Amino acid sequence: AAGLALYFYNYSTWRAKAGIYLEDLYVREGERGHGYGQRLLGELAKEVLGMGGGRLEWSVLKWNEPSIRFYEGPSVGATRMEGWVGMRVDGEALGKLAGRAV
């Protein structure tokens, strides 16, 4: 395989529609630039539309400028979600939070 897309289905309460969250997109280094990333994302877009969904979304590290250029370019057409901040609880904080559950 030239690459893979790891994803899961989600639901947007904002749009009242299902969607897909892309957890990871990987194309082997020697296969990059041949359209595989675009095709993988295109298949996910078809899946979203086929289920009557509203969006395909993912996160990308700020320093990963080559990927950002690819995602924002004409072959994908993604836009940055400027109004959102990613949040995470892990490690010791995750254990503390779990301890607060009733």
The residues that are catalytic are 71
Which residues does residue 88 pair with via DSSP β-bridges, in sequence order? none
The whole-angstrom separation of Cα 37 and Cα 80 is: 18
DSSP 30: G
Contacts from 22-25 at CB under 8 Å and sequence distance 24+? 22/56, 22/57, 22/58, 23/58, 25/58
Residue 8 CA: distances (Å) to CA of 18, 42, 51, 52, 58: 11, 15, 13, 15, 11
